[in-house]
Structure 1
């Protein structure tokens, strides 16, 4: 059961006073916090009239499940006394007192559970105000790992590439690309699991029916905003004897380009130049 002092504090913070609003609470509308680090919800109290030195009587920081929710008290100050804060919450300025108009909230060791809406309520001797702000928690996904099933390739048989990336938040996406940067994501299936700490693990399976077309495939992990965070390129293993064959074909193509095509282009250019010079001299005579 909550103590009588705590109940009185919550009642005081939530009640609507009849005092005109000569002060205003201004907060950054959206704040971004990195998982495992400190997060700052910036809020300051500003005077709206010629008040000289307003004195803060009450500050209440509440965590809401929605903007309309009454929420739970995370950090509070009431008439000179700091209420016992929830673990991981404190004023951004360690030596904060009732004369300090910076009422910013500091969240230490940010977790997924800290994501959401927050309300800051301030009552002064010159008026009161409240405002709702948000914290968006982000965690970067790990570099993907890619492996091939089956381990040994059988020519012209079905196979699967599996890509995994974990430790991210919010939910991201795994996409597939071949060595020519064509996307193959529509041919894959992705599974999403969430661990006890709220972080996501992404697993994507790319089916290669009847063998594969390209020697390299890249799995890229994108965050919830669509930004690429990490990627991993996987070079397809080749059956015994096929590596030499493919390398030989590739070598022949390159050799054909440099020994036949390039010389023909150069010779053709020289012939055109000689004809142009001959024509110019003939016209001059």
Structure 2
């Protein structure tokens, strides 16, 4: 007698404790991307698909509906699939017979952050579990660059207090923020820091730094995503004098775009100078030629008068 409910099947299997192989893995995926949850078993010979069952479920008990994907005796079964996963899961159909039971999860969102369990059954006389794998899916987001703004006063004087602001949004998990003095790479303590979780689950950061203006201000704001092992850096640079100042907000100087922009600007300036030099040379040549023609005409006229 076969159990009709895949959920009951899984409970029954756990009660028997008949798992023969286990995997524990962690997968990191970003919001909106496709995650591959690995479940691989190497058979002695190819599986017969109508004697195979593959169950994917949420293993951490965090949701009332736990069925993610079911493959039963050669056919996909979506009748008990949770609504959150409808039309978002795929098995590698052409690789099942070779023991590749990995699951593709499309359009990943924060609500997909769970531990998933893959259970594989093979039928000899009855179905029995031959493989079990747990995969923890961690979701991350680093979709925007931090925004660094300088003082409201356009030309601060040396010794004047300067306030810098660094804002960042749509990060996950909760990010870390660091202020550094790029002149000596020393750490700076923020004057204020607020990290809030938005309605979509991502985090926004608001921080300010107050410093005393000197002749050369170079401050960096760094947003760290520990899960992705990624740092987003933006720089503020300002040369201050008692009478005037120049400033520029720069993205991370390690970015190729910053270097390419500088090379392009230099090339444009050099091209402009070349065009201007050529125009001046042609104008001078024409002036000399015109003067020579006039002089020749005057000499001819004097000879004729004689």
TM-score range (shorter-chain normalised) is: 0.5 to 0.7
Please list the CA deviations of residues 55-85 of structure 1 after superposition, one character each: whole Å capped at 9, or x if unmatched.
Answer: 554322112446x999611111233442214
Can you list the C-alpha shifts for 1:99-118, whole angstroms capped at 9, x where unaligned? 45211010111222222311
Distance 1:207 1:35 in 2: 35
User: How far apart, in 2, do the equivalents of 1:125 and 1:111 lie?
Assistant: 36
Verify the 8 A CA contact 1:23 1:45 in the aligned structure 2: no
Equivalent-residue separation in structure 2 for 1:233 and 1:17 (angstroms) = 55
**CA distance in 2: counterparts of 1:93 and 1:206, whole angstroms:** 52
Aligned to 2:303: none
Residue-pair matches, total:
233
Q: Give the TM-score taking structure 1 as reference length.
A: 0.66
Evaluate the alpha carbon distance shift between residue 19 and residue 124 of structure 1 in structure 2; reply closer, same or farther with a 3 A threshold.
farther
Cα 1:141–1:184 change in 2 (3 A) is farther
Tell me the C-alpha RMSD between the 2 structures. Answer: 3.6
How far apart are 1:124 and its partner, in Å? 1.4
Conservation of the 8 A alpha-carbon contact between 2:190 and 2:207: no
Matched, 1:43 2:39: yes
- Retained in 2: the 8 A contact 1:63–1:74? yes
Q: Deviations over 1:213-268 (max 9, x none)?
A: 45221112211158443211112475871439xxxxxxxxxxxxxxxxxxxxxxxx
Q: Return the alpha-carbon distance in structure 1 between the equivalents of residues 54 and 42 of structure 2.
A: 14
Give the corresponding residue for 1:113.
111
Q: Which residue of 1 aligns with 2:11?
A: 14
Structure 2 counterpart SS, 1:29: strand
Match of 1:72 in 2: 66
Question: Does structure 1 retain, via aligned residues, the 8 Å contact 2:193–2:208?
Answer: yes
Shift of 1:206: 1.1
Q: State the shift of 1:122 in Å.
A: 1.7
Cα offsets for 1:176-211 (capped at 9, x unmatched): 112314333423433222333332222221123xx3
Residue 187 and residue 82 in structure 1: after superposition, are their counterparts in 2 closer, same or farther (change >3 A)?
Answer: same
Distance 1:19 1:39 in 2: 31
Query: C-alpha distance in 2, partners of 1:115/1:109?
Result: 12
TM-score by length of 2: 0.62
2:181 aligned residue: 178
Give SS of 2:86's match. Answer: coil
1:23–1:46 Cα change, 3 Å: farther
Unaligned runs of 5+ in 2: 247-306
Structure 2 partner of 1:169:
172
- Paired residues of 2:115 and 2:135 also in contact (CA < 8 A): yes
Whether the aligned pair in 2 keeps the contact of 1:144 and 1:221 (CA below 8 Å) is: yes
Call closer, same or farther: CA 1:116–1:183 in 2, change over 3 Å: farther
* 1:160 has 2:163 as partner: yes
1:222 aligns with 2:224: yes
Q: What is the SS of the residue equivalent to 2:40?
A: strand
Which runs of 5 or more structure 1 residues have no equivalent in the other structure? 245-285
Quote the residue 1:31 is aligned against.
Answer: 27
Give the structure with higher Rg (CA): 2
3-state SS of 1:215 partner: strand
User: C-alpha separation between the residues in 2 aligned to 1:18 and 1:192?
Assistant: 45
Distance 1:218 1:6, change over 3 A: farther
1:43 offset after TM fit, Å?
Answer: 0.7
For 1:52 and 1:242, how far apart are their aligned partners in 2? 77
Query: In the alignment, is the contact (CA less than 8 A) between 1:76 and 1:83 conserved in 2?
Result: yes
